[in-house]
Amino acid sequence: LLEQLGVKLELLPDGSERWHGCGKDTARCFGSVLAQTPEYLLAGRWTPPCCLRALRATARHVLAQLEAAGVRHWLEGGSLLGAVRLGDLIPWDYDVDVGLYREDVPKCRWLAAVAATGRPVEDAQGFLWEKAPEGDFFRVHFSRSNRLHVDLWPFRADPRGVMTKETWLGHRQDVEFPERFLVPLGSVPFAGVVAKAPNEPRAFLEFKFGPGVVENPEYPNPAVRRLAQDLGNG
């Protein structure tokens, strides 16, 4: 019955919790994301709590690895939007986006290994680092079985003082931006830790998404489904 209803988290009478969703040894709770829209959004639901838990764990792990290695990095896209709005993931998100300086990639042992061999590498905690098949960026999965992930986008500063990269996927926020947003880097609360971020996160978000995005967020592809449909406003 719980499976039929899509219930992933059960709150027991004694206050404890029982999870019925995905874990390290299972697949994630949703299939391929089509047109930037996961199937749970099409069903009028937000991200299952077990998937959010796995995304938070993967994000915290990746951010800690980059920080320890001295890699300059920052929250990107919807992940930064969630941090500014909630100090957490946006409740309908399906991945985490992190930007980093391309020249710092060799500083991280896992990224360096993937870049050198082209093959995925599993670290000691069971997270899987790989080169993304869609282009020139990296991806870190919760596990080999569970492909909830963090995307790592290598940027470089061009002579104009603009941050650019090699792969563009056509997302509305996927644009070049002035390096001044990163010099110096700032920080924001995110998923239980303090994460590196652009120094003016609201201005950065409005540069990428447009004015008012913090107060009025939208699903990744409004042409497929709009947030207002699930808030009773459309």
In the block, tokens 């909830």 appear at 148
The predicted pLDDT at position 10 comes to: 74
**Both tokens assigned to 140:** 């870190």
Domain-wise residue ranges, the chain:
52-212
**pLDDT tens digits for 181-234?**
999 999 999 999 999 999 999 999 999 999 999 999 999 999 999 999 998 754
Distance in Å from the first CA to the final CA of the chain: 30
Give mean pLDDT, residues 23-36.
93
The predicted pLDDT at position 6 comes to: 64
The predicted pLDDT at position 16 comes to: 83
**Position 7 pLDDT exceeds 90:** no
**pLDDT tens digits for 127-141?**
999 999 999 999 999
What is the dihedral angle through the alpha carbons of 170, 144, 55, 102, rounded to the nearest 10 degrees? -50
For domain 52-212, the question of CATH label 3.30.460 is answered with: yes
What span, in angstroms and rounded, lies between the C-alpha atoms of 53 and 61? 12
**pLDDT tens digits for 67-90?**
999 999 999 999 999 999 999 999
